[in-house]
A and B are shown apart, each in its own frame.
Chain A
Amino acid sequence: MGVVRYEGLPFVARFRWNTGKIMEKFYGGFAERQILAAKCENCGYTVVPPRVICPKCSSKMNENNLVKLDGRGVVLSYTVVRKKLDGKGGFVTLDKPEVIAAVKLNGADSMIFAKIGDVDVEDIKSGMEVVPVWAEKPEGRLSDLLYFRPG
């Protein structure tokens, strides 16, 4: 039996997610090269990216809870990526390995995942201090934050 391919279906099914108001502010901050977090007034937990319910004590939060972080952070743990998908079901070896790290930003209690650049993979280690590298013309998109580098 061969594969039966359907053609001519009148179907288009695309998604378009709403981020919520507090995350709109977060992306807006990127345009200013700023990282915003939400600080809970009840328990003091500071979460980045910000959200409307404190993940620690479930208190309600809103735009008034937003605080600016200085962007500096510390690498908690990391992994080195040496292969990537080739889009045809296989893998290719990267010319230059990439580092993905769990970074705890100064002033935040939660952590984010980010790419680490401008560093030799042999030199990366937990506890390393990093700073963000922004796009030349940030537009309020996630892609504005290119990567973190040692600093």
Chain B
Amino acid sequence: MRNVAIIGCGQAKHGRRTDVNQAELVAEAVWAAVEDAGIAPEDIEAYAVGNMQGFGGIAQPDLVFADYIGAAGKPMQRVATGGTVGGSVAHLGYYEVASGMYDVVLAVSWEKHSDSAEPGATTGLLHVAYANLSYMMKVGMDMRSFAIMGLAGAAAGISAYQAAFYMARSGCGIEHFDMVAAKARRNAAKNKYAHLKWPNCTADDIAKTEMLIWPMRFGHVCPASDGASCVIYASEEAVKKLGVEKPVAWVKGVAAYADEEADQGEAYQGTAVVDYSDQTGAILSAMKAYERAGIKDPKKEIDVAEIYAPFPHQELMFSERLGFFDDGTAWKAVEEGVTEIDGDFPICPSGGVNATNAIGSSGMQRVVEAALQIMGKAEEHQVPKDVRNAVAHAWGGQVQFNTVMVLGDSPKR
């Protein structure tokens, strides 16, 4: 595998984007990335694209925008791995360059939740749910009881069980979820692309919001955003050939592991084979990505991380699974301010998925934000410490896919 760099990043403004259609939203991120990279559209040899299957009301959205992003007449592939998809698209683009197949590849992922007549992500989720949950009859489950248990709180309902598992294991309280959610909104206020901005938001502010489905409050829940995120990869040779002089972010290692079968409903009703908050796939992904990146001690060698955490307990859970804190201790680090933008181990300085969740975009946005921290281009939410290595994580599938990408300020030797 040869060295690959991210030479350009682009994001659409995330939020409720009823001013654009899906193709226009994707194009916004793509052309921002092309401009950031300082290359010509002709330099791009292939495209990796993807979003949540069934979302936004278009079954095959990749078919509607090829000529909005300069992909007509070029290789273009779509990936669909549920919520993980942004991470998977990022990995596909990387594979295409690292393998030697192409020298310059563009990877973009997106979501357009507002193309829904129902609130939030409901329409998209239910189009997935119709097919996926009906299939649960294979394990003797009735979708109607799932609907009452889980969809009472929509996606929050799904993750509430995981949060409860995590609380029991780690000993953390709901107040720690309040702290993480407040940090997300404060950080988002410093990020011009973010959705839920709340300057100076405190844990007390979050604690005053309504309890939706225990232990999940309204203030813990991510928004349903519209948005698109994009990176452009170049091989080490192409970085030289294109004359890229601005700082780039080098991909040092990637890994993506599936967990044991863990459809949400199976976990609810007692047929799951795993602890819903165990996330072995995240541990395996992190260990393999660090090995490939030459990282021996992530606690010391990783400087900042962007974790896919739509709900606050997931930031705590995954930051342990990715090896940044010992099991069951992440909430103590949050209490001490370690994960703040100016802390010793900043997590989600962008505000993360908890403040901005255009699902397909979210995994890619973690890669974009990690790259911006390496390049020193994160502007108001740039962490003050030196950034040599950054981690971008994505999570999804049903609950069992994880992707991890380690980015660095220099190529691997």
Contact = CB atoms under 8 A, between A and B. Distances in A.
A53 B27 contact: yes
Given A53-B27, A58-B41, A14 B118 contact: yes
Interface residues of A, number: 23
B21 A19 contact: yes
B20 A18 contact: yes
Nearest to B18: A18
B144 A6 contact: yes
Nearest to A53: B68
Nearest to B126: A13
A3 interface: no
A124 interface: no
B117 A15 contact: yes
B143 interface: yes
A4 interface: yes
Interface in B60-78: 67-70, 72
Interface in A44-62: 51-53, 55, 58, 60
B137 interface: yes
Question: From DSSP, what is the main secondary structure of chain B's interface residues?
Answer: helix
A14 B147 contact: no
A135 to B, nearest CB: 25
Contact of A15 (B19, B21, B123, B147): B123
B19 A20 contact: yes
Nearest to A13: B126
A77 B410 CA distance: 57
B151 interface: yes
Interface residues of B, number: 37
Interface in B365-396: none
Nearest to B19: A21
B127 A55 contact: no
Interface string B143-154: 110011001000
Contacts of A88: none
Given A18-B21, A58-B70, A60-B31, A11 B116 contact: no
Given A9-B143, A10-B147, A13-B126, A52 B116 contact: no
Nearest to B21: A20
A51 B116 contact: no
A20 B20 contact: yes
A105 B358 CA distance: 38
Nearest to B28: A52
Nearest to A9: B147
A8 B122 CA distance: 17
Contact of B123 (A8, A9, A14, A20): A14
Interface string B277-289: 0000000000000
Contacts of A23: 21
A17 B24 contact: no
A53 B144 CA distance: 45
Given A21-B19, A53-B27, A13 B127 contact: yes
Contacts of A20: 19-21, 23-24
A12 interface: yes
Contact of B151 (A6, A8, A10, A53): A10
B115 interface: yes
Interface of B: 17-24, 27, 31, 41, 56-57, 67-70, 72, 112, 114-118, 122-123, 126-127, 129-130, 134, 137, 143-144, 147-148, 151
Interface of A: 4, 6, 8-21, 23, 51-53, 55, 58, 60
Query: Which 9 residue pairs across A and B have the least CB separation, nearest first?
Result: A15-B57, A13-B126, A20-B21, A14-B117, A55-B67, A16-B117, A53-B68, A58-B70, A13-B123
16 contacts: A6-B134, A6-B144, A8-B144, A9-B147, A10-B151, A11-B147, A13-B122, A14-B118, A14-B123, A15-B117, A16-B117, A17-B21, A18-B17, A18-B20, A21-B20, A58-B41
